[in-house]
Amino acid sequence: MSRIALYDTTLRDGCQSEDVAFTLEDKLRIAEELDDCGISYIEGGWPGSNPRDQEFFPEVRKLRLRRARVAAFGSTRRAGTAAEDDLNLRQLLRAETPVVTIVGKTWDLHVRDDLRISQEANLEIIGDSIAYLKQRVDEVIFDAEHFFDGYKANPEYTLQCLKAAVEAGADVLVLCDTRGGSMPHEIHDAVRAVSALGDSALGIHCHNDCELAVANSLAAVEAGATQVQGTINGFGERCGNANLCSVIPNLQLKLGYDCVSTEQLKLLPKVSGVVYELANIEPYKRQAYVGASAFAHKGGLHVAAVQKNSETYEHIDPELVGNRQRVLVSDLSGRSNVIYKARQFGLDIDYSDPAVKTILEKVKHLENAGYQYEGAEASFELLIQEAIGGARVHHFQLISFRVSDEKLKEGEPTLSEATVRIEGPDGRIEHTVARGNGPLNALDRALRKALTPFYPELNELELLDYKVRVLGGRAGTQATVRVLIESGDSRSKWGTVGVSTNVLEASWQALVDSIEYKLYKDKKEKRDASERASADG
């Protein structure tokens, strides 16, 4: 099985993505995650281009990276400047990394119109820069910028650029589809032509402007490339780079190449999530292999089939890449969806149970009214409990609530105040008032204030996310709204839903479900722990 070296440039090329900006601490955290995943090279940035990148290299040396080699990135020397006098090359050496990657022009159009020097002068620049660095660092990687465009326009000169890099001592030649406009067959043919010239190690660096960066990277490997450059989640300039979260499992599981260990492959969803979180970007749930929807099933026929044999609708075992099979519940669901979810919740139910039909009919009715349970599984579990038990367990009864907003002066924030009256489990009435920075915050505070005397465990509850979706926008301000709330404690997270023409009423529904689920979940966990203890005893 051929070994493929993985070169991650999330910390440099990925940072050039619109809306992405990592702090120094973020970059160090990502470097550790990449090392855990088995990445061979971590490109840390361009020394001297900004203070953050300059600070990264001394700080990353303090980390105990087990496998990955850190690379500094820069460009070949400036025209008319000796290598030893070039500020960029000196800054690369100051980074004190075992690997240096430099980018050089290989398309005659760039040499003529950008650098405005002769082709011979560009060849000297490539050779001088690499020779100077090779005498001072362990490994020099040459990024042949615009290689595929140059190869199509003037293959003879583009290959001369690679030859100059090899003769100067470059350890790896990385062929770059810088504009991201090449097709897989073009990538394959060009890499095959270069690999036939000699024994130089070849790499591939693809951009995603035609949505082909992953496919082009695979084509290059099949043609002889032994290093693949890319980023986590495909972050990068314009449309992004080759997504290593897809490249790695495709190479390893589909094409049989050796990239990372079995356990490291399972860490891909984790590193994907960390990078999304630090970039403050919502994860793309439909992302191949690592996305939340990658192995999610919604249609009743699909669910019935995967319950019998998951291979019917899953191209790999989700656990190979650290993901899991999910079944969604909606108005498209069949009995199989309901039974799958019930068993997932630890409830014993089968096709003959009349509760299954009741649940299906209720879900279809509620979704028609605007409810959605794909992101609100806690609300759905409460619905199942109600259908099985014949009635929903309520931990308190609402008597009334009132919320008011007050703005005292232009330019100052609006104040929200909520009043809540509830009847507790012992019949005692609690009447509480609280203020917040918005209506939901005030309502949440007032409700918890009323309930914590009965249920102190609610102090652990956190509201993590709040989304409002307007349904049927033609109704304007009279439209129905759907509210999704994500909540959590130290052990888990869950989602709840509410729907109404009044956004506060919809928020109340989702908030109450969140609290009810927390109390229900805690009781179930205690019961399960007690049963396990009895069994062990």
CA angle 421, 424, 426 (to 5 degrees): 145
Q: How many contiguous H segments (helices) and E segments (strands) does the chain have?
A: 18, 16
Q: Of the ranges 127-136, 275-284, 382-391, which is most confident? A: 127-136
Q: What 8-state DSSP symbol labels residue 278?
A: H
Task: Specify whether domain 370-387+462-537 bears CATH 3.30.160.340.
Answer: yes
Please report the pLDDT score of residue 332 as a whole number.
53
Q: For 3-7, 72-76, 409-413, which range has the lowest pLDDT when averaged over its residues?
A: 409-413
Contacts of 365 (CB under 8 A, 6+ apart): none
Please report the pLDDT score of residue 30 as a whole number.
96
pLDDT class of 457 with cuts at 50, 70, 90? very high
Distance CA 195, CA 227 (A): 13
Which position has the higher pLDDT, 182 or 110?
182
Got the DSSP string for 428-447?
A: -EEEEEEEESSHHHHHHHHH
Q: How many CA atoms lie within 13 A of 114 on its CB side?
A: 12
Question: For a pLDDT cut of 70, what percent of the chain falls above it?
Answer: 94
Please report the pLDDT score of residue 353 as a whole number.
77
| Composition of the chain by helix, strand, coil, percent to 5 | 45, 20, 35
pLDDT class of 537 with cuts at 50, 70, 90? low
- Give the pLDDT mean for 152-176: 96
Kindly report, residue by residue over 39-80, the tens digit of the pLDDT: 999 999 999 788 888 899 999 999 999 999 999 999 999 999
pTM of the model: 0.73
> What is the edge-to-edge ordering of all strands in the sheet holding 493-500?
462-471, 480-488, 493-500
> Nearest-CA neighbor of 507 among 517, 515, 498, 495?
498
Please report the pLDDT score of residue 473 as a whole number.
57
Q: Is 388 helix (H, G, I), strand (E, B) or coil?
A: helix
Residue 119: count other Cβ atoms within 10 Å of its Cβ.
15
Beta-bridge mates of residue 42: 8, 70
The domain locations on the chain are 5-279, 296-368, 370-387+462-537, 396-454
> Nearest-CA neighbor of 384 among 431, 413, 349?
349
Question: For a pLDDT cut of 90, what percent of the chain falls above it?
Answer: 68
Beta-bridge mates of residue 176: 205
* CATH code for the structural domain at 5-279: 3.20.20.70
Checking if the pLDDT of 408 tops 90, the result is no
- Give the pLDDT mean for 387-395: 74
> Nearest-CA neighbor of 74 among 96, 111, 104, 97?
104
Which position has the higher pLDDT, 364 or 258?
258
Please report the pLDDT score of residue 310 as a whole number.
84
Kindly report, residue by residue over 320-348, the tens digit of the pLDDT: 999 988 776 655 556 667 777 677 777 67
Token pair for 94? 């100051």
Q: What 8-state DSSP symbol labels residue 477?
A: G
Kindly report, residue by residue over 412-451, the tens digit of the pLDDT: 888 899 999 999 999 999 999 999 989 999 999 999 999 9
Contacts of 469 (CB under 8 A, 6+ apart): 481, 482, 483, 484
- Give the pLDDT mean for 347-376: 75
Average pLDDT, the chain: 90
Beta-bridge mates of residue 366: none
Q: Is 464 helix (H, G, I), strand (E, B) or coil?
A: strand
Q: Is 475 helix (H, G, I), strand (E, B) or coil?
A: helix
Distance CA 398, CA 434 (A): 16
The domains spanning 370-387+462-537 and 396-454 adopt the same CATH topology: yes
Chain centroid to Cα 217, Å, comes to: 20
Kindly report, residue by residue over 221-265, the tens digit of the pLDDT: 999 999 999 999 999 999 999 999 999 999 999 999 999 999 999
The CATH number corresponding to 396-454 among 1.10.12, 3.30.160, 1.10.3470, 3.40.50 equals 3.30.160
